[in-house]
Amino acid sequence: MAATLDVVVPVDDQLPPPWHWMLFQEWAPAHMLGADGHPKRGGFLPAEPTLPRRMWAGGRLQFLQPIHLDEPLTRTTTITRVEEKSGASGRLLFVTLHHSIAGRNGEAISEEQDLVYRGEQSAVAPDAPAAAVAGASRRTAVIDSPLLFRYSALTGNAHRIHYDREYAQQVEGYPSLVVHGPLQATLLAGYASELLPGRALSSLSFRGRRPALMHRCPLTLEAWTEAGALRLRSLDSEGAVCTTAEAEFLA
């Protein structure tokens, strides 16, 4: 992961948050994959044939104690909510999962993950350049296709919108490859830790606002303090907000 993100390998034995998304990969046999590269619907997650597209929309994480690189971990996953909504983009189904990851000393990460099922209509929202935030810190995140491919491999994500441009354009209607939401959250969490060195991240929440598209990269990462928390966001090269996040640190 350090090589993929082009960062220094951590010198201690603790896994940086949220690098745990590399763990607990579920590799379905090839004949069990759908046309989009995801495992076919059904089984643990609900199946809704009229809503064929599925994406990770956001999540909320609490980092309760460090994960050490030599310890065995277990994950328990529960579906906590299934809710149908309708909006400008049509009918949507929201599914919330709760992951509890435990190590030798008990629960280390408590995570809620929001999945959204949608129809075949385009998921690209109209351009909406963001208002500037006074005093925000900024840095550029270079995004290229090797990064998307390697991050997909590390996290066991076979969704073709991240590495198959022809599929992304012709089937799902994106102008170019799509940057993973969790990758953006990982970059934002790393940036937050750079700004507050020596402090442990205690919680992170993030939400996808619009797809981050390869032809509108690089991304700009921004951070500023508001109401006692560190607010963060990623913006594409046209100034539209792609992902927002909030990070809190131990005192």
Instruction: Tell the residue number behind the tokens 């435990």, with chain if given.
Output: 102
| Model pTM above 0.85 | yes
247 pairs with which residues across the strands? 204, 230
Instruction: Tell the residue number behind the tokens 């963060």, with chain if given.
Output: 232
Which CATH number is 160's domain given?
3.10.129.10
Q: What angle do CA 60, 150, 204 make, to 5 degrees?
A: 15
Band of residue 12 on the pLDDT scale cut at 50, 70, 90: confident
**What is the pLDDT at residue 148?**
97
126 pairs with which residues across the strands? none
**What is the pLDDT at residue 126?**
64
**20-24, 43-47, 143-147, 209-213, range with the lowest pLDDT:** 43-47
CB atoms under 10 Å from CB of 132, counted, come to: 9
| CA atoms of 123 and 53, how far apart (whole Å) | 10
**What is the pLDDT at residue 124?**
65
Contact indicator for 53, 92 with CB cutoff of 8 Å: no
Full domain range(s) for residue 89:
2-249
Cα torsion at 46, 207, 21, 177 (round to 10°)?
90
Cα torsion at 73, 27, 112, 71 (round to 10°)?
10
In the chain, pLDDT over 90 holds for what percent of residues?
69
Four-residue CA torsion sign, 113, 56, 48, 30 = negative
| CA atoms of 231 and 188, how far apart (whole Å) | 10
**What is the pLDDT at residue 68?**
93
**What is the pLDDT at residue 140?**
97
| CA atoms of 179 and 216, how far apart (whole Å) | 10
Q: Is the peptide bond before 17 cis (omega within 30 degrees of 0)?
A: no
For residues 237-244, average pLDDT? 95
Does 4 score more than 90 pLDDT? Answer: yes
Four-residue CA torsion sign, 77, 82, 88, 90 = positive
Q: Please give the backbone phi and psi of residue 77, each rounded to the nearest 5 degrees, phi first.
A: -120, 135
Give pLDDT tens digits for 29-70.
999 888 888 888 766 777 677 777 888 899 999 999 999 988
For residues 70-98, average pLDDT? 89
For residues 159-167, average pLDDT? 95
- Per the structure, the count of domains in the chain is 1
| CA atoms of 52 and 40, how far apart (whole Å) | 10
| CA atoms of 1 and 196, how far apart (whole Å) | 21
